[in-house]
Amino acid sequence: MADKIKKILIANRGEIACRVIRTCRKMGIASVAVYSDADRKALHVRMADEAVHIGPSPATESYLMIEKIIAACRQTGADAVHPGYGFLSENPEFARCLKKEGITFIGPSPESMEAMGLKDAAKKLMEKAGVPVTPGYHGPDQDGKLLKARAGMIGYPVLIKAVAGGGGKGMRKVEQAEDFDDALASARREAKAAFGDERVLIEKYIARPRHIEVQIFGDTHGNIIHMFERDCSIQRRHQKVIEEAPAPGLREEVRQAMCGAAIKAAKAVDYVGAGTVEFIVDGSGELRKDGFWFMEMNTRLQVEHPVTEMITGLDLVEWQIRVAQGEKLPKQKDIKMHGHAIEARIYAEDPANDFLPSTGNFEIFEIPRPGLDDPGALPQGVTQRVDTGIAQESEISVFYDPMIAKYIAHAASRTDAILALQQMCRASLLYPIWTNLRFLGRCLEQEALLSGAISTGFIAEHMADLVPESLSERDCARLSSALHIMQHPEHLTEFDGWRLNLPPRNTAIIYVNGHPTEVPLNPMQG
């Protein structure tokens, strides 16, 4: 067994850094935060036992600088690093550098990361391991004519996907052969810009896909277990916004087949630590044992791990640390599933403007405080949870992902869990930055979601209901004026705007989308 970890440096920021720090406190392990210029006043910096400045605001000059992270470990005496998610979390070179320094990397081996890092190689490996993969072309020949011919053999519609990619970048759906060349060129450009690698693979497009993933864990004693599945089908721009566990409508025999395939995938790369095997699932009818295919494996902790924690009662960060210390995992038979959990990701973004990120400072940041606030009339046994790295007056920067918080609800039934999550969204007030809170609330009210009839196309299909038609500029101006007068009534009196032989007249010039709009302000008696 490895030595007990005494001090963990979290090579990350925001919500996940705060999440890891909480588990460190619970386990009696000292924590070290790192921060850039933009994060000097960030919540994770305040929560940690120590904090080290690592550079300017751009991630390329701070959170992605391996040498700066290692220097911070030396400076503080940290004997382990938790990478969180994003940034360096799936960088095998980072894990190797830490190992050379005698610092424990809380994650899988560099070899496991490399094996799963390139989608084409990973799919070949999965085929060899007996894991079902989507029909497609994953070969090395990148000639455009060959790729187009392969697409024709697979049968349209097809997906062009970046070999080195993720998050929907470098991905294009192609409906017919006439559109293939333009889509290929576009996917290659985006892949090159995002990953420095323009190689692509071709896959059969699943008409009504669901995204279901399995949480797996491996230890240094050769044990690999699963912690059931999560349904992450509710996505915008190929990025998850609502996740839940267990997956609606997944029969036990299909669950066992899917979890068994995930364990095969992990064993194929001698996996150690927390990982997630993602499957694309045919959701056009009843979910079947022969209707799911390997998509990719994430060799890190996932953003959506709390729903798994809620249904199993396990602390996944704690088990990451225990495995890194050489401890054995629990037996598969001892991992039980209880109830239903659902999570919503709160983003600083404008759903009505193609989910454009918002920036600035929160003047009002009122989010649920489970255990402190009155949750109202919720069913018995409901548990609510908030994971965030933001506090009052925190800055939402242009430099990083705009996620503000994760709201999680757990209950005995899916219906009650959704009701509890709806209540959390309604109980929040975030101002003045645009967020997707109301958008999420509308998602949770849609009959398709309530019935479990979901797919990765859910948001696109229901966009008209999720983002109602915008107010006119004049209506926006009127609302802004009313809010201002409510906050500053001294700015409006009967004597303002005096006119000879006419009633007083007040006007305000409000700028909406850069356009000046004149709004009459009329004082009322009483």
Cα torsion 429, 431, 437, 438: sign: positive
Per-residue pLDDT, 486: 59
Task: Convert the pLDDT of each residue in 86-119 to its tens digit.
Answer: 999 999 999 999 999 999 999 999 999 999 998 8
For Cα atoms 64, 92, 120, give the angle at the middle one, nearest 5 degrees: 110
- The alpha carbons of the chain give a radius of gyration, in whole angstroms, of 25
User: What is the distance between the alpha carbons of residues 452 and 249, in angstroms, rounded to a whole number?
Assistant: 7
What confidence score (pLDDT) does residue 494 get? 43
Average pLDDT, the chain: 91
| Overall size of the chain counted in residues | 526
Q: Is the pLDDT of residue 453 over 70?
A: yes
> How much of the chain exceeds pLDDT 70, in percent?
88
* pLDDT over 70 at 482, yes or no: no
Q: According to the model, what pLDDT value does residue 391 have?
A: 87
- Express each pLDDT in 437-452 by its tens digit: 999 999 999 999 999 9
Quote the percentage of the chain above a pLDDT of 90: 79
List the single range of 28-32, 200-204, 331-335, 481-485 with lowest mean pLDDT: 481-485
pLDDT of residue 369: 86
Q: Which domains does the chain have, with CATH numbers?
A: 7-106 (3.40.50.20), 135-204 (3.30.1490.20), 209-466 (3.30.470.20), 473-521 (no CATH)
In angstroms, the CA 115 to CA 126 distance is: 10
Per-residue pLDDT of 125-175, as tens digits, reads 999 999 999 889 988 999 999 999 999 999 999 999 999 877 778 999 999
Q: What is the pLDDT of residue 522?
A: 57
Higher pLDDT, 479 or 231: 231
Neighbours of 256 (CB within 10 A): 12
| Euclidean distance between the first and the last CA atom of the chain, given in angstroms as a whole number | 76
**pLDDT, tens digit (0-9, with 9 covering 90-100), for 500-522:** 555 555 566 655 555 555 656 55
pLDDT category, 370, cuts 50, 70, 90?
Answer: confident
And the tokens for 426?
Answer: 């309604």
pLDDT for res 118: 85
pLDDT band at residue 291 under the 50/70/90 scheme: very high
Among this protein's residues, is 300 annotated catalytic? Answer: yes
pLDDT of amino acid 251: 98
pLDDT at 493 over 70: no
- Distance (Å) of CA 197 to CA 190, 192, 502: 9, 5, 71
| CB-CB contact of 228 with 337 (8 Å) | yes
301 to each of 25, 108, 174, 215, 297, how far by Cα in Å?
Answer: 19, 10, 32, 9, 11
- For residue 44, pLDDT over 70 is answered with yes
pLDDT tens-place string over residues 175-221? 999 999 999 999 999 999 988 999 999 999 998 999 999 999 999 99
DSSP type of residue 502:
B
CA triple 426-17-166, angle to 5 deg: 80
Decide: residue 433, CB within 10 A, 0-12 exposed, 13-18 middle, 19+ buried.
buried
Q: Choose among 128, 93, 89, 88: nearest CA to 110.
A: 93
Catalytic residue of the set 210, 230, 300, 345 = 300
C-alpha dihedral, 131 to 134 to 140 to 142, nearest 10°: -170
Contact call for residues 162 and 194 (beta carbons, < 8 A): yes
Least confidently predicted of 14-28, 344-358, 364-378, 411-425: 364-378
The confidence score (pLDDT) of residue 134 equals 86
pTM: 0.84
Distance CA 296, CA 299 (A): 10
- Structure token digits, residue 264: 């095969």
Distance, in Å, from the CA atom of 364 to the CA atom of 358, rounded to the nearest integer, reads: 15
State both tokens at 172: 């294009």
Residue 468, pLDDT score = 78
Which pLDDT value is given to residue 426? 93
| pLDDT value at 455 more than 60 | yes
